[in-house]
Amino acid sequence: MGDRAAAPPSRRVRVLQVIQNLNYGGMERVLADIVRHLDARRFEAHVLALEYLGKFSEGLEGVATIHLSPPMSRWSMVHPTRLIRQIRAIAPDAVHSHGGVWYKASLAARRAGVGRVIHTEHGRVLGESVTVRMADRLASRRTDIIVAVSEAAAASLRNGIVADPSHLVVVPNGIDTERFTGTGDREGCRAALGISPDDLVIGSIGRLEPIKGYDIMLRAYRALLEQWARPRPPVLVIAGDGSERSALERQSQAFPGGRVVFLGWRDDVHDLHAAFDFFTMSSRSEGMSISLLEAMAAGLCPVVTDVGGNRDVLGPDLAHLLVRSADAAALAGKWREVLLDGSARVRAASAAVRRVRESFDVRSMVSRYERIYRSGLLVPSQERTADCVPGGDHQSQTDE
């Protein structure tokens, strides 16, 4: 496997992005944004989904070649024959994997003879199994550059996952800040949701999964209602979907007064931002939240849990809006403070816009990835373990 970093100027660097699927989620949005903003004069973009395509694949065919992996059998963890053949046919200069496909994508890329293997860690699941950690340790040994989206994500990788920290870099997520500039239709969106122009609205956008802590958010909302003295309690609006939705809806039905609105997945995020008075998250763990970046870019004051990259995103000027993870009472208290002080809320919103524009623009993120794609191998290929799996190359065992 040779070092193809010094590609001739007449040929674009071919980069293959590998992900489980391109459905709703921050990681999927990041991949789509990377592909859309790559310099097409210097890079040829390909995207390979191992499971299915999904929402964020829409429109990508205009800037990238989209591939869907055929089904793979249980032997694919040993020797993913079909994936190896597909990567060989694409013939990328670099393979860039995202999320839970790291082990299989890196194994197939190395056995397909790819010169550069890159992986981005978007955030780790709490309480992950020993098997998952072992698989990722093996994958890290055959990966040239491992990207963490925040310093917190990098620290978790150094804790028993990445053996050689020299392979690890931090590239913060970025968003298209211009897309969220300006004000959406506040009155129109509120009217469509059945919310009065005079109501105070707490807004959140995310996946309704345990790691996002929406059960904590609902407990915080109940605590807020119990201490709210004004005649019209705030409305809690949650946009997103996931495996926890039914349970969360049942949990919200037991509240005394107040109102929780579950919207499901929405494409009109900009209008939703206009309907909110501030944005909140109650995550148990985060990499670097795209929803948070978008809300801040839209001019919303953030109140979020102090997990993952959230502290990096808010920065020192907004750090007072962080609360302890899994502490519903602390979250409710911070909400109440922000709701009752409109001028402080406006100041925080202005600081949030400045913070995102200065530090988390998509063009800066993509520029750093472009440099990574064009860089050479960090170590000579002959120095790394052949395939980093016990027993060497299991060519006789395939996923056919």
The 10s digit of each residue's pLDDT in 283-320 is 999 999 999 999 999 999 999 999 999 999 999 999 99
pLDDT band at 387 (very low <50, low <70, confident <90, very high): very low
Q: What percent of the chain has pLDDT over 90?
A: 77
- Mean pLDDT over the full length of the chain: 89
Residue 128 sits in the same domain as residue 250: no
> For 174-193, what is each residue's pLDDT tens digit?
999 988 876 688 999 999 99
Q: Please give the residue range of the domain that contains residue 220.
A: 177-359
Specify the DSSP class assigned to residue 71: P
Is 393 within a domain?
A: no
Rounded-to-integer distance, Cα 45 and Cα 357, Å: 26
Residue 350 sits in the same domain as residue 366: no
Helices (H), the chain: 26-37, 81-90, 102-111, 130-141, 151-158, 186-193, 214-227, 245-252, 269-275, 290-297, 310-314, 328-340, 342-359, 362-374
Is 314 within a domain?
A: yes
Torsion-angle region of residue 280: left (phi > 0), alpha (psi -120 to 50) or beta?
beta
Residue 245 sits in the same domain as residue 112: no
Residue 217 sits in the same domain as residue 336: yes
Rounded-to-integer distance, Cα 70 and Cα 49, Å: 10
Residue 137 sits in the same domain as residue 278: no
Q: What percent of the chain has pLDDT over 70?
A: 91
Give this prediction's pTM: 0.87
Residue 130 sits in the same domain as residue 20: yes
Please tell me the total count of domains within the chain.
2
The tokens 């004051």 sit on which residue?
301
Token digits of residue 365: 């993120």
SS3 143: coil
Residue 159 sits in the same domain as residue 204: no
The tokens 């027993």 sit on which residue?
391
Query: Contact at 8 Å (CB) between 261 and 273?
Result: no
Is 397 within a domain?
A: no
Cα–Cα distances in Å, from 59 out to 66, 76, 243? 10, 30, 27
CATH code (residue 238): 3.40.50.2000
Residue 397, classified by CB atoms within 10 Å of its CB into exposed (0-12), middle (13-18) or buried (19+), is middle
